[in-house]
Amino acid sequence: MNSYRIKNRDDYDRHYRRGREDAKNFWAEIAENFEWMERWEKTQSGSLTNVDVKWFEGAKLNITVNCLDRHLKTRGEKTALIHEPSDPNGAVARYTYRELHHSVCKAAHMLQAIGVQKGDRVCLSMGMVPELLITMLACARIGAIHSVALAGLESKSLADRISDAGCTVLVTGDGAFQGDKIIPLKDIADEALKNCPSVKKVIVHRRGNCHVSMEEGRDLWWHEIFDGMPQEFDPRGMEAEDPLFILYTSGSTGRPKGILHTCAGYMVWTAYTFDNIFQMQRDDIYWCAIDIGWITGHSYMVYGPLLNGASLVMYEGALEYPDRGRLWEVVDKYRVTHLYGAPAIVRAVMAHGAEATKKYDLRTLKVMGSVRNPIAQKAWLWYCENVDKEKCRILDTWWQTETGAAMLVSFTSITEQQHTFEGRPLPGVYPVLLDERGKTVTGNNVSGNFCIERAWPGMARSIYGDHRRFEQTYFKPYPGHYFTGDNYYRNELGLFKIKGRADDIINVAGNRLGTIELENIINQSEWVVESAVVGFPHEDKGQGIYVYIVAKGVEEEEKLVDQIKATLEEQIGIFARPDKVQLVSALPKTRSGKITHRILRAIAEGNPGSLGDMSALLNPNVVEEIRKAVISS
Ligand code: WTA
């Protein structure tokens, strides 16, 4: 066990205090747990005010040494990675730490052989195959900067990302499985590359057995180079603040932001948080059911688990393929102890009924971690009742692409948790709630804009190629603070609960309502599977409330609509009575299960022209369906 694991409540309080009062020694002691090629001179320098934060300056390291090499002596034969294919009858791939180490070294040689060097940007557009994880680590081993694009982005979005980062190499596949479909990755790449002169070489990993065209001199098959490569590769010594990766996230202007993370701070932060959140034992099995193309996949599928020497499951396909029981089948098959995903997982199964969970043995599950959306009370309680009666260890975690790893956690055993609260800050995270004018909101049972007042090791350092935008977006609103963009509520126990994005607040005749707060109330109805609330311009009230609902088993839709309106009015006030409630068959979502309020807002505003890029959606068809229903109503 690592020396930095928090054992109980007293420990938590002590660590939390020390992280603030004696930050230098606190983080130095944590950093001692890693392998460094050269030790740091300064634990932390720079400031949030100047937006020039640095951690472990002067140190040299390679994160892959910490993910792989240092485990070889003690757990070389331990399973590092189990790959469950999309096809339930397909071949499962397994890697021990030693085998993974060999594969990463071979891939590093492969990249080097085609000219990749330290600092080069490499774009990865692959399905959920082991080679994606291996290529990420191979880049890190060389010191190249990986930029993972979600499989299935349309070619223009892929081209934008490649050009913004000036990538010189693209690693892709012939196709990626998604349910019963195959995403034609190489065709999409070919189209994108017409506008990306920076890319000199393309490596294509064969997986879907799709027919692809290969461009002479540019395109190479993975297996033709990889197979003959040596199994050892000297890791490149990286400066602490050298970039590790870029990950694009959507920005309010529609132009994606390339969030930049650096080597040392990100390593220490992801490892520290992963260990403390999941508190895994040596033989536990961890599964992160979220695509690697999101930050969750980067930090808690690749780096966090491997830095801690855990055994992880990676699943290739769609979670409901070939049926809704697949999630639980995989848990059963590998005796998963720790499952991490979006709350949509719980809701989706709930919509289907408890049957799916009864068919499988879920007794190994100790922890069900959740991220990206609030867990509605109903789903939380349903899970306790149907999945894990005795232990009921739901673990909510709040964080962002920009924070590198989790910040708020509803610890299961260390401190108290409360349904629907994301929890408390981890040691090292010092949040404050600020009002519109930047004044600190003190006391209990209060809300405000959620900011962080101290630098933490895993924070993003910049937006690639646009440091000014980084400053403007996150540090200008409240000088000296990092502004998360979220609006939060804090109760008398010091637990935090999200109310919505600061820009998701609906202001109805001066009453500020958090959309998430409203959704939670709506979701209590036994007929509601899930809901989304957005604001739209209203002549009299400033903003009106628009509710989208996915319902099940309702006979009289009108009755449900009336009931929802009445409930909100009763529970919050007359101003919370929605102006419009629309029943829909599904809500538009990203592939990680996040409801895209942006799109629903554009429809509610009668502004479908500004729907923007929909290529990262799981179900783009539903948008058209909702829009048509609005027009005809
Ligand atoms: C939201 C995901 C409620 C929040 C790791 C945040 C959450 C945004 C939670 C970041 C949670 C994340 N409960 N909302 N547990 N976790 N969010 O960058 O609005 O993809 O700002 O990072 O998701 O999304 P991102």
Distance between the two ends of the chain, CA-based, in angstroms?
60
Secondary element (H or E) of residue 34 = none
Rg of the chain on CA atoms, in Å: 24
- Helix axis angle for 377-386 and 343-352, nearest 10°, is 70
- Pull the structure tokens for residue 501: 């994005």
- Pull the structure tokens for residue 412: 């299961």
398-416 pLDDT, tens digit each: 999 999 999 999 987 788 8
485 against 173, higher pLDDT: 173
Residue nearest to atom 10 of ligand 1 (CA): 400
CA 466/CA 403 separation, integer angstroms: 18
pLDDT at 582 over 90: yes
Secondary element (H or E) of residue 55 = strand 54-57
337 against 574, higher pLDDT: 337
Which band of pLDDT confidence, cut at 50, 70 and 90, is reported for residue 156? Answer: confident
pLDDT at 145 over 90: yes
CA 414/CA 13 separation, integer angstroms: 10
Q: Return the closest-CA partner of residue 398 out of 376, 423, 419.
A: 423
Distance from residue 559's CA to the centre of ligand 1 (Å): 33
Q: How far is CA 592 from CA 293, 319, 342, 619, in A?
A: 9, 10, 7, 11
Which atom of ligand 1 sits closest to the CA of residue 484?
Answer: 21
Q: Return the closest-CA partner of residue 193 out of 113, 125, 100.
A: 125
- Average pLDDT of the chain to the nearest whole number: 92
Instruction: Looking at 577-620, list the stretches that DSSP marks H as alpha helix, in order from N- to C-terminal side.
Output: 597-604
Distance from residue 370's CA to the centre of ligand 1 (Å): 10
Residue nearest to atom 4 of ligand 1 (CA): 372
Residue 236: other Cβ atoms inside 10 A: 19
Ligand 1 probe mutation, 299, 394, 399, most atoms within 8 A of CB: 399
- Helix axis angle for 23-31 and 9-21, nearest 10°, is 110
- Length of the chain equals 633
pLDDT at 392 over 60: no
pLDDT at 132: 98
Residue 559: other Cβ atoms inside 10 A: 11
Q: Tell whether pTM > 0.75.
A: yes
pLDDT at 388: 65
Distance from residue 359's CA to the centre of ligand 1 (Å): 32
**Mean pLDDT lowest among 97-106, 228-237, 478-487, 520-529:** 520-529
Distance from residue 79's CA to the centre of ligand 1 (Å): 30
Which atom of ligand 1 sits closest to the CA of residue 296?
Answer: 5
> Strand runs (DSSP E) across 467-578, as ranges?
482-490, 496-501, 505-508, 511-514, 528-538, 542-551
**In this structure, what is the dihedral angle of CA atoms 151, 154, 160, 162, given to the nearest 10 degrees?**
30
Cβ 238 vs Cβ 61: under 8 Å? yes
Cβ 267 vs Cβ 307: under 8 Å? yes
Cβ 367 vs Cβ 395: under 8 Å? yes
Which band of pLDDT confidence, cut at 50, 70 and 90, is reported for residue 594? Answer: confident
Average pLDDT (500-512) is: 76
pLDDT at 617: 84
Kindly report the backbone phi and psi dihedral angles of residue 402, in degrees, each rounded to the nearest multiple of 5, phi listed first.
-75, -25
620 against 108, higher pLDDT: 108
pLDDT at 282: 94
CA 353/CA 168 separation, integer angstroms: 48
Which atom of ligand 1 sits closest to the CA of residue 592?
Answer: 20
Q: How far is CA 327 from CA 317, 373, 377, 550, in A?
A: 10, 19, 21, 22
Average pLDDT (20-44) is: 97
Residue nearest to atom 13 of ligand 1 (CA): 374
Average pLDDT (87-106) is: 98
- Pull the structure tokens for residue 488: 């939060």
CA 366/CA 153 separation, integer angstroms: 35
Q: Report the percentage of the chain scoring pLDDT > 90.
A: 70
Distance from residue 24's CA to the centre of ligand 1 (Å): 29
Q: Look at residue 54 and give its three-state secondary structure.
A: strand
Provide the pairing of β-strand 311-315 with 79-84: parallel
pLDDT at 363: 86
415 against 332, higher pLDDT: 332
- Pull the structure tokens for residue 484: 């998360």
Q: Return the closest-CA partner of residue 342 out of 384, 267, 272, 394.
A: 394
Distance from residue 232's CA to the centre of ligand 1 (Å): 38
The set of protein residues with a Cβ atom below 6 angstroms from ligand 1 is 249, 294-296, 371-374, 396-401, 422, 484-486, 498, 501
CA 123/CA 143 separation, integer angstroms: 14
pLDDT at 389: 60
Q: Report the percentage of the chain scoring pLDDT > 70.
A: 96
Average pLDDT (190-213) is: 96
Place of tokens 């000088």: 479
Average pLDDT (501-506) is: 77
Average pLDDT (122-139) is: 98
Residue 551: other Cβ atoms inside 10 A: 19
Distance from residue 258's CA to the centre of ligand 1 (Å): 17
Instruction: Looking at 114-205, list the stretches that DSSP marks H as alpha helix, in order from N- to C-terminal side.
Output: 130-142, 155-165, 185-193
CA 450/CA 460 separation, integer angstroms: 17
* Burial classification of residue 344, based on how many CB atoms lie within 10 Å of its CB (0-12 exposed, 13-18 middle, 19 or more buried): buried
pLDDT at 504 over 90: no
**In this structure, what is the dihedral angle of CA atoms 64, 235, 467, 479, given to the nearest 10 degrees?**
50
Distance from residue 372's CA to the centre of ligand 1 (Å): 4
Residue 220: other Cβ atoms inside 10 A: 18
Q: How far is CA 589 from CA 22, 288, 470, in A?
A: 43, 19, 26
CA 174/CA 204 separation, integer angstroms: 6
Which band of pLDDT confidence, cut at 50, 70 and 90, is reported for residue 1? Answer: low
Which band of pLDDT confidence, cut at 50, 70 and 90, is reported for residue 632? Answer: low
CA 3/CA 250 separation, integer angstroms: 37
Average pLDDT (528-543) is: 87
Q: How far is CA 520 from CA 121, 395, 424, 531, 568, in A?
A: 42, 18, 20, 9, 10
Which atom of ligand 1 sits closest to the CA of residue 498?
Answer: 3
Which band of pLDDT confidence, cut at 50, 70 and 90, is reported for residue 390? Answer: low
pLDDT at 387 over 90: no
